[in-house]
Amino acid sequence: MQDSASTPTPSNRRNYHPLIQTAVGVLCLVLAYFAWAKIEPNQVASFLNALPPAKVYLPFGVIGLLIGLALARSRLTRRLPAFPKLQPVTLPQDNRLVQISDKSLRSIEVFDGWSETYPTISSAKKSIVIVDSFLVNEVGPIETCVKNAVAQPGVGRLAISIYMASPKREFGAQRVREKEGPHTSNEYKQALESPISTADWNAHIDRFNLSLREIRSHIATLPGVDLEIRTYPTMPTTRIFVIDDIDYFFGWFPLLNGNPAYSCCHLRDDGVDKAGKTLAKALHDQVEIIHSISDRAELEPRRVDEGRRISN
């Protein structure tokens, strides 16, 4: 049996016969005119010479040609199959995707450094939460911000919670190494892969104890402040400042440097859409988890066996 796809159909044949019919019709008209004028074949040349100049009959010829082509085109068009009308296609909606609207984008700001958080801290009305690895170089500026906050009219007691990496776990010592390791790639990689020494532990302990003393001396003594300082036993993941449970500042812990000079993001949980609410809840939950696993901070004694090695 012959494949039906090889059989030509009217829709896929080229249809030239309207043009042929038009040409044959024109030729018949010319021959009919010759017969009517009783022109013999040997008189055709003298007849053509007797015709008016081309500029006289050329316009009529062009008009006739255009009419013939229009008629042929109309016949061809009527013979072409009609294409089906295209229907709009609706793509399936993926409910797993969360669209971030322009409103959410306007609600998230990116700052060049953490010093841009100070105006918001200075305007705190109820609470300040700080999650960090250790807080040494910023105790002075934060003290100034807290003084400004409690001096605002109508502000009651200000609850301040500060969380730092525990000096009893190796994560703080690892963080010191990440910040201050060699700046050549091979040496830096070797330093990060080597076991943590007692000197590494003591480097973190010294920074932790200094932070704790500075916070107690400069912030805990301020009037109108309820301060708690706690430690968490996990690896530092995200630095977070939360002001009055509405302004969230967050950023990462960069390698070979500290946070204060690095960029951070700001999300104000006020009138944001679903995506912004989801992010604010994630940051809030992170702080809650850190609080649930934290302990009250105390000064940590230095380790004395400098030759002892502690594996990760």
Any idea what the Cα angle at residue 60 is, between residues 54 and 64, rounded to 5°?
130
**% pLDDT > 90, the chain:** 39
| Mean pLDDT, the chain, whole residue set | 77
Query: Cα–chain-centroid distance for residue 48?
Result: 80
**% pLDDT > 70, the chain:** 63
* 2-6, 44-48, 178-182, 221-225: range with lowest mean pLDDT: 2-6
Question: Which residues touch 129 (CB under 8 Å, ≥6 apart)?
Answer: 160, 161, 162, 163, 240, 241, 242, 243, 287
Contacts 24+ apart (CB under 8 A), 143-152: 143/218, 143/219, 143/222, 144/118, 145/118, 145/121, 146/121, 146/219, 146/222, 146/225, 147/222, 148/122, 148/123, 149/121, 149/122, 149/123, 149/124, 149/125, 150/222, 150/223, 150/224, 150/225, 152/123, 152/125
Q: Is residue 160 packed enough to be buried (19+ CB in 10 Å), middle (13-18) or exposed (0-12)?
A: buried
Paired residues of 130 in beta bridges? 162, 241
Using an 8 Å Cβ cutoff, are 253 and 266 in contact? Answer: no
Q: What tens digit of pLDDT does each residue of 56-102 get?
A: 555 655 666 666 666 656 655 555 455 455 455 454 454 444 444 45
Q: Following CA atoms 291, 295, 301, 305 in sequence, which dihedral angle do they give, to the nearest 10 degrees? A: -80
Q: Which two tokens stand for residue 72?
A: 């042929």
The residue with greater pLDDT, 297 or 46, is 297
Q: What tens digit of pLDDT does each residue of 197-228 get?
A: 888 889 899 999 999 999 999 999 999 999 99
Q: Is residue 211 packed enough to be buried (19+ CB in 10 Å), middle (13-18) or exposed (0-12)?
A: buried
Please give the order of strands across the beta sheet that includes 225-232. Answer: 108-111, 264-268, 247-252, 238-243, 127-131, 158-165, 225-232, 295-296
Predicted pLDDT of residue 254: 84
Q: Is residue 288 packed enough to be buried (19+ CB in 10 Å), middle (13-18) or exposed (0-12)?
A: exposed
Question: According to the CATH classification, is domain 102-310 in 3.30.565.10?
Answer: no
- Where would I find the H helices in the chain? 17-36, 44-50, 54-79, 102-107, 118-122, 139-150, 170-180, 185-193, 198-218, 274-292
Hunting for tokens 């009419």 — which residue is that? 67
Predicted pLDDT of residue 184: 76
Q: What tens digit of pLDDT does each residue of 155-186 get?
A: 989 999 999 999 999 888 888 888 877 777 78
Residue extents of the structural domains in the chain: 13-79, 102-310
Answer yes or no: pTM beyond 0.85.
no
DSSP 8-state symbol, 247: E
Q: Following CA atoms 209, 210, 212, 215 in sequence, which dihedral angle do they give, to the nearest 10 degrees? A: 180
Hunting for tokens 């081309």 — which residue is that? 54
Q: What tens digit of pLDDT does each residue of 220-277 get?
A: 999 999 999 999 999 888 999 999 999 999 998 888 777 787 889 999 998 888 888 9
Predicted pLDDT of residue 98: 44
- Whole-angstrom Cα distance, residue 62 to residue 57? 9
